Structure 1
Amino acid sequence: MEQIHIKLGRNLKSIRQTRGFSLDKVSELTGVSKAMLGQIERGETSPTISIIWKIANGLRLSFTTLIEEPPSEIAVITKDELEPLLEEDGQYRVYPMFPFDPTKKFEVYSVEMDAGCTHESEAHSPGVEEYILVSSGTLVIEIQNTSYTVGAGSAVRYAADQPHSYRNPGGEIVRYDAIIYYP
């Protein structure tokens, strides 16, 4: 299976060229340096989730549009076969289960957070919503200085077009699935 950073570079270059954008223009839209964008396109670096989100938001794309492979009619996804995106020194692992499909307007991730891990997320594009379904552990989500505690077997939905954070306050791994809806 092809590594995520290689797919990302290929997709970013294709999107940039299709839109007729220079690296300078993409840098201006995303806040990511021209040098970093060039390294990403050439597959020379594996950017952080935060950098990928900056690119996605700046280009008004879903996150997985940048890392997806062409879809097939039936897809059976095994998490063990996916390469996770890592943040917080590997304590926050995101597995892209179903990439964005423009006709469906959503994408699905499986996420694991180690005990004590906190992950800050930048605001997504206007109107984007997140649906979080916790399968194990307890997840605390903070939005506009208000904390929401979501335990195993529970779910939460919120407007993700503002900064938000995820925190695992417990002593075990938190596992949850995230559905991100793009209007």
Structure 2
Amino acid sequence: MGTEAGTARLACWNPGTPCWNPGIVGETAGMDALAPNLRRLRASAGLTQAELAAKAGVPRATLASMEQAGSNPGILAVQAVARALGIGLDDLVEPRPEERHYLIGPREQQDYRADAGRFSARLVSPIASKGVAIHRVVMQPRCHSIGRPHPPGAQEFFLTLVGTAVIEIEGESVEVPAGHLLQFPGHRRHSYGNPGRTVCEAVSSVVMQLG
């Protein structure tokens, strides 16, 4: 067990996050989310500071301090408040999902293959992300694959990186050479093709709703 400032540090309560000092929570950058999360969750529960403090068994002054940025509450107080709200500790101290960053490794990316494996689309965007899907597309020579229409309002952005792709949109064929981007309504019937003799690589981004 390591030490910091002469005080032994506890084991991490959540793998992948920095260990906390046993007495002070606010030493980690992740605690920046505590104050706004607590204010939002308390309001959603319809509780005043006094009511939540009583329910958690902590002084009202402690709770008021926790709702202020830069506070240094003890871990036991934070755990008590989380229990009183009926939520997990992560929900209280970590940024909201839409405010977090994600690093997606190859093993977490999903592959879709068609046309006897000659068409490959790998989902590289996080599954948790809402409203957007990004695929890395690889098409072998003479490849052709029918796309799946997306919900109305969706827009697809297809950027060819290597070679030339041919996107067919409701019977109309559009050549998309390397370095060019094609935008089209994702809900329309479409297909992807590579009529050339070399591999075609591209990135497809689907935004479910613009504006």
Q: Distance in 2 between matches of 1:152 and 1:76?
A: 27
TM-score computed with the length of structure 1 as normaliser: 0.55
Q: CA deviation at 1:143?
A: 0.8
- State TM-score, norm by structure 2: 0.48
The Cα shift of 1:137 comes to 0.6
Contact 1:96 1:109 in 2 (8 A): yes
Q: In structure 1, what is the Cα distance between the partners aligned to 2:151 and 2:164?
A: 27
Q: Please give the per-residue CA displacement for 1:33-64, whole angstroms capped at 9, x wherever unaligned.
A: xxxxxxxxxxxxxxxxxxxxxxxxxxxxxxxx
Q: 1:149 to 1:124 in 2, by over 3 A?
A: same
Once residues 156 and 109 of structure 1 are traced to their aligned partners in structure 2, the CA distance between those partners, rounded to angstroms, is 15
Paired amino acid for 1:150: V
Matched, 1:154 2:180: yes
Query: How many residue pairs are counted as aligned between the two chains?
Result: 112
CA contact 1:144–1:163 (8 Å) conserved in 2: yes
**Given the alignment, which residue of 111, 118, 123 partners 2:144?**
118
What aligned pairs does 1:133-172 form with structure 2 within 5 A after superposition?
133-172=159-198
Conserved in 1, the CA contact under 8 Å of 2:154 and 2:207? yes
Deviation at 1:76, TM superposition (A): 3.6
Residue 116 of structure 2 is matched in structure 1 by: 89
Whole-Å separation in 2 of the counterparts to 1:179 and 1:157? 10
Shift in CA distance, 117/80, structure 1 to aligned 2, threshold 3 Å:
farther
Q: 1-side partners of 2:183 and 2:110: how far apart? A: 26
Distance in 1 between residues matched to 2:167 and 2:115, nearest whole Å: 16
Larger relative contact order, structure 1 or 2 (CA cutoff 8 Å, min sep 6): 1
**Alpha carbons of 1:78 and 1:169: their partners in 2 closer, same or farther (altered >3 Å)?**
farther
Verify the 8 A CA contact 1:123 1:161 in the aligned structure 2.
yes
SS in 1 for 2:137: strand
**Do 2:104 and 2:126's aligned partners in 1 also have CA atoms closer than 8 Å?**
no
Amino acid at match of 1:95: R
Considering only aligned residues, what root-mean-square deviation do their CA atoms show, in Å?
A: 2.2
Report the Cα distance in structure 2 between the residues aligned to 1:140 and 1:126, rounded to whole angstroms: 23
Match of 2:116, as an amino acid?
Answer: D
**Aligned partners of 1:140 and 1:168 also within 8 Å:** yes
Match of 2:163, as an amino acid?
Answer: G
Q: For 1:134 and 1:77, locate their aligned partners in 2 and report how far apart those are by CA, in whole Å.
A: 22
Following superposition, the deviation at residue 114 of structure 1 comes to 0.4
Residue deviations 1:52-82, cap 9 Å, x none? xxxxxxxxxxxxxxxxxx9993334455874
Taking every aligned residue pair, what percent have the same amino acid on both sides? Answer: 26
2:124/2:135 contact within 8 Å kept = yes
* Matched letter for residue 168 of structure 1: N
Q: In structure 2, what residue type is equivalent to 1:120?
A: I
Instruction: Report if the CA contact (8 A) 2:145-2:192 is conserved.
Output: yes
Runs (5+) with no aligned partner, structure 1: 1-69
Equivalent residues in 2 for 1:32-181 (5 A)? 73-79=100-106, 82-99=109-126, 101-102=129-130, 105-181=131-207
Question: Which residues of structure 2 form unaligned runs of 5+?
Answer: 1-96
